[in-house]
Amino acid sequence: MVSDSQIINKLILIGNGFDLAHGLKTSFSHFLDDYEDTVIGNLTNSKEYSDEFIICKINSNYTVDDVLKAIVGVPGDKLKFLKKRKIISLYSQSELFLNITRSNAKKKWVDIEVEFFDFISNPNEPQDVTKIIKANAHFTVLRNYLIKYLEKEVSRNKPPIEYDLFHQFIEKIQIKDCIQKSIEQNSPPSNVHFLNFNYTNTLEKYLTEFKSLRPDITFDNNYIHGALNVNSVNKRPPIFGFGDEIDKKYQNFEERRDNHAFEHMKSFKYLEGINYRQMLEFVDSNLFQVTIFGHSCGISDRTLLKTIFEHPNCISIKPYYYEGRNEKNDFTEKTYAISRCFEDKKLLRAKVVNFEYCSPMAQPSESE
């Protein structure tokens, strides 16, 4: 039973949906559109393009004008469209990239990380070391392209603070939202720890406001997967990889004698900095509620999320779901993902807040 003076904290998961809500084009489809535009830009300059992923050139019986006219009004997959029209020749140099970009429209970044893991652990194929080494190299290239794209996207967008979001962040922790008899009264959080899965600086603009408007609350921004700007002590270069040690296929990696399969596994990247330890210190310190803003809770982060969700100090998990205009909300889908992080399903039902007590995440890009 908590006393009136006991500290109750809040751990806030920040995912890509937070950046998307602020108008940043940070989805996989946005990135791929930009990649295609780069390829087509090179085609219009030199009639050919090649990188680690593809070789592309305009066929001899077509011109640059034919390329530009053909793609007018084509929303996506322009290269595949041009290839189908036989305006260009397009060859793949990376089986991994080919798998990742197949049916990309609804893929999230977590899906890309899972695609990579499935590719290097395909149970229907022998785990050839050469294949894994090549896949690691191509995944590194993809990561570097992503970083460059995000740097460009951040530099050209200056999203404003949404004060409805600000108030959602600091909402009181409600008795009705928590495990029975864990707290005695509705309480504002004493400390707020943002576990920020994004690489961008969108959240930092809120922190300045937090410190001036609510000096009674301590706010920390933990870039658990690194950041684009690595000038400050708490930031590292972006981590991009797989983080589900519970997966049975991952356990097969540990029985192998070579270490190449571990190159893009998040657990080992966490050991290179202090961010993961800071998160552990926070959850070990006092009772806390988890709130979720724009994070999919996908299996690519399952090991980390399981540590948080099943922690004995975690008394509540409250998703702020996405509800777009004229669209069904994603609350139920998010609870499916959360459930995969629990072994004890009774504990899951005790901690996850019911839909009727949850709210949609405020959408800055849709507000007037």
Query: Cα–Cα distance between 335 and 319 in angstroms, integer?
Result: 8
> What tens digit of pLDDT does each residue of 307-325 get?
999 999 999 999 999 987 7
On whether residue 2 sits in a domain, the answer given is no
Structure tokens at 147: 């970083």
Residues 197 and 277 in one domain: yes
Closest CA to 197 of 7, 336, 12: 12
Residues 254 and 341 in one domain: yes
Which residues have a Cβ under 8 Å from the Cβ of 11 and sit 6 or more positions away? 192, 193, 195, 282, 283, 288, 289, 290, 291, 308
- Domain C-terminal end among 112, 140, 155: 155
Average pLDDT over residues 202-219: 87
Residues 332 and 281 in one domain: yes
Residues 136 and 235 in one domain: no
Residues 179 and 307 in one domain: yes
Query: Cα–Cα distance between 368 and 364 in angstroms, integer?
Result: 8
Per-residue pLDDT, 232? 58
- Select the more confidently predicted residue: 62 or 208: 62
Query: Cα–Cα distance between 188 and 177 in angstroms, integer?
Result: 13
On whether residue 271 sits in a domain, the answer given is yes
Structural domain count of the chain: 2
Collapsed DSSP state (helix, strand, coil) of residue 184: coil
On whether residue 3 sits in a domain, the answer given is no
Amino acid at residue number 363:
Q
Query: Cα–Cα distance between 305 and 227 in angstroms, integer?
Result: 20
On whether residue 236 sits in a domain, the answer given is yes
Quote the domain boundaries for residue 118. Answer: 28-155
Residues 167 and 84 in one domain: no
- Select the more confidently predicted residue: 3 or 175: 175
On whether residue 305 sits in a domain, the answer given is yes
Structure tokens at 161: 């603070």
Q: Are 15 and 195 in contact (CB under 8 A)?
A: no
Per-residue pLDDT, 171? 95
Residues 218 and 300 in one domain: yes
- Under the banding of pLDDT at 50, 70 and 90, the label for residue 24 is very high
Beta-sheet strands, E only, within the chain: 8-14, 48-50, 54-58, 88-92, 191-196, 218-223, 287-293, 314-320
Residues 273 and 221 in one domain: yes
Residues 193 and 341 in one domain: yes
Closest CA to 289 of 207, 199, 213, 187: 187
Residues 173 and 137 in one domain: no
Residues 34 and 17 in one domain: no
First-residue to last-residue Cα distance in the chain: 44
- Domain C-terminal end among 129, 155, 181: 155
- Domain C-terminal end among 155, 172, 197: 155
On whether residue 198 sits in a domain, the answer given is yes
Residues 129 and 264 in one domain: no
On whether residue 241 sits in a domain, the answer given is yes
On whether residue 90 sits in a domain, the answer given is yes
Residue 223 phi, psi (nearest 5): -75, 80
> What tens digit of pLDDT does each residue of 148-197 get?
999 999 998 888 888 899 899 999 999 999 999 899 999 999 999 999 99
Query: Cα–Cα distance between 349 and 314 in angstroms, integer?
Result: 13
> What tens digit of pLDDT does each residue of 187-204 get?
999 999 999 999 999 998
- Select the more confidently predicted residue: 239 or 126: 239
Per-residue pLDDT, 107? 76
Query: Cα–Cα distance between 141 and 59 in angstroms, integer?
Result: 27
Mean pLDDT of the chain: 89
Q: Is the pTM of this model over 0.85?
A: yes
Look-up of token digits 């690595």: 230
